Structure formats: structure tokens, C-alpha cells
Amino acid sequence: MTWLYLTLVTAFSSATADTLTKRALRREDPFVLAWVRMGYALPFVFTLVVVTGSFPQVDAEFLKVVAVLIPFEVVGLLLYVHAIKLSPLSLTLPFLAFTPAFTTVIAFFLLDEIPSLGGLLGIGLITTGAYTLHIDKAKEGLLEPVKAVFRERGSRYMLLVAFIYGINSTLGKMAALTSSPLFYALFYPLILTLVLTIILIKKKNLTSVVARPTRYIAIGFFTALVMITHFSAVVLTNTAYMIAVKRTSLLFGILYGRLVFGEEGLAKRLTGGMLMVAGVFLVAIFQD
């Protein structure tokens, strides 16, 4: 059960990092905060890797996986940060629940894998939960809650992130298995930080990453905790199970949205979020 406890820490830390990031985005460029999430996480992960001596030899297979993974991760990270800047946490984070649903649909079209009845029910619950987030719009027409999702830019961006993460969850596990979980938890933010540094140099905005060090260190700490616990948990169990538990982060995010930012509609958004988490669990259970 170690993987379960690690994943719950991942979920809580993810929602906490997102909340701190959203607060910082009131004054800062999303590209800067994308760098902050990775760059400020590095010292924490590096210290743990040094203490534990997790420096394995990497082979060509690891480098191939990373070469495919990193471009997707850069795009996903930038979309993620833009999403939580543009829209309430309670209308963005829940859409990460679509990750396993997208994975199931991709497997159907590319691998001819027929989803089980339970898996389809899970996708139905995720979709119903998304509908519930805007249920108050239903009085204007049955399709209005669906239209409301796509009118919300943050929700649209997070749907794209969920699709990207549907691909990357498997690739990330492959990279962790061909090296070590802690080493990949260091290598991953290091490469992303280098890529984002190049972007910020071109934008002539690199100095902004040290504008608010105290706040940024907190973001880095919780982001590091996410990476360390995520990659440690994912190699201990079925990827789908781990991702399903990790998606409880959307419930923490909805609560943070209310407590920190005063976001409205707590009841309907928690209801929608719980439906989506239940759907993720069904997809995970019947995917195995």
C-alpha cells in the first residue's frame, strides 16, 4: 500500500503547488511560473538524489523515451500554467480527470482495444461530472453546460493537457523504469528548466525568475514533492491505478479554490469533481 500513501501526497502537493502558482500568476508571466515550478524544484530533488545515491547509468532506451517525452511535457506545462491563470481552479483542475478517458479512446482507435462496459461507464461518469460543473446553465438549454466548458479558456487548455498527459503517463513510467524514480524526478525538471530558460532568454524575461524568491521556493518545494512521490509510486503499481488516485488532486484544488480565492459554486463543483474521480477509478479498475 506504499504506492497509495505516496500518491495521496502527490495529489495534495499538486493542488497546493497549483494554488501557490495561481496566486503568483496575478503579477507574473505564465512562462516565468512554468520555469519557477521546475527550476525551484531542482535543489530539493537534487539533494534527495545525492543523499540516496540514485545515480544510475542511463542507456539509449532512456534517452529515446525522454526525447519523445520532453516536447509534449513542455507544451503540457505551458498550457497547464496558462489554464490556472485564466480560469478558476474549480473549473480547470477537474478536467485532468479526462486523462484516462483519453487514454482509453486512443487505445481503441490505435490499438483496437475494446473498452469494457465498466470502462465506458467510467468515461460516462467523468463526462457527467464535467457537465455538472456548469449545471446551472442547463436552465438555458441542455447543451449550455457543454458550451460553457468550451467557452472557458482554462477548461479548454486543461482538456488539451489531459490529452497530453494521457500519452505521457506511460512514457514517464518507461523512463523511470529504465533509470530510477528519483533520478528521473531530477532529470525531468532539469531538461524542462533548460528548455524554458532558452524561451525566457528569447522573451528577455529571465531575471523575473528571482523576483519573489520566498514564494517561488514554496512552489518549488511542493512541485518537487509531486515529482518525487509520483515517480516513486508509479513504479510500484499499475499506472492507471496510480493516476486514478492522483486525480483526487482535483478535489483538493476545488477546496483550495473556495478557501483561498473565494470561488463560487462549491457544492456543484465538488459534486462534479467527485463524479469525475469516481469515473477515473472505474476506468482504472476495468482497464487492468
- Contacts for 176-179: CB closer than 8 Å, 24+ residues apart: 176/231, 176/234, 176/235, 177/235, 178/58, 178/59, 178/61, 178/62, 178/65, 179/56, 179/58, 179/62
User: What is the overall mean pLDDT for the chain?
Assistant: 84
Residue 80's pLDDT is 94
Which pLDDT band, with edges at 50, 70 and 90, does 267 fall under?
confident
Residue 185's pLDDT is 80
Q: pLDDT tens digit string along 184-229? A: 788 888 989 999 999 999 988 888 998 888 889 999 999 999 988 9
Residue 113's pLDDT is 60
Lowest-confidence segment of 1-10, 108-117, 160-169, 244-253 by average pLDDT: 108-117
Q: pLDDT tens digit string along 150-174? A: 788 888 999 899 889 877 776 777 7
Residue 97's pLDDT is 85
Stronger pLDDT, 113 or 272, i.e. the higher one: 272
Q: Does residue 134 register a pLDDT over 80?
A: no
Residue 109's pLDDT is 66
Residue 4's pLDDT is 86
pTM: 0.85
Residue 252's pLDDT is 92
User: Residue 40 is placed in which grid cell?
Assistant: 525551484
Q: pLDDT tens digit string along 90-104? A: 888 888 888 877 776
| Mean pLDDT of the 79-85 span | 94
Q: Does residue 110 register a pLDDT over 60?
A: no
Cβ-based neighbours of 140, under 8 Å, separated by 6 or more = none
Cβ proximity of 47 and 228 under 8 Å: no
Cα–Cα distance for residue pair 242/251, rounded to 1 Å? 16
Residue 221's pLDDT is 96
Stronger pLDDT, 131 or 25, i.e. the higher one: 25
Residue whose C-alpha is closest to residue 94's, from 231, 283, 280 = 280
Q: Does residue 114 register a pLDDT over 80?
A: no
Phi, psi of 41 (to 5 degrees): -80, -25
Which DSSP string corresponds to 176-235? HHHS-HHHHHHHHHHHHHHHHHHHHHHTT-GGGGGSSHHHHHHHHHHHHHHHHHHHHHHT
Residue 54's pLDDT is 67
Cα–Cα distance for residue pair 138/140, rounded to 1 Å? 5
Residue 106's pLDDT is 67
User: Residue 45 is placed in which grid cell?
Assistant: 530533488
Q: Does residue 133 register a pLDDT over 60?
A: yes
Stronger pLDDT, 106 or 194, i.e. the higher one: 194
Cβ-based neighbours of 9, under 8 Å, separated by 6 or more = 225, 229
DSSP code, position 262: -
| Mean pLDDT of the 24-41 span | 92
Cα–Cα distance for residue pair 209/285, rounded to 1 Å? 42
Which pLDDT band, with edges at 50, 70 and 90, does 257 fall under?
very high
Cα–Cα distance for residue pair 228/232, rounded to 1 Å? 6
Cα–Cα distance for residue pair 252/270, rounded to 1 Å? 10
Cα–Cα distance for residue pair 243/129, rounded to 1 Å? 18
Residue 183's pLDDT is 81
Grid cell 518549488 in the structure block, residue: 220
Residue 128's pLDDT is 83
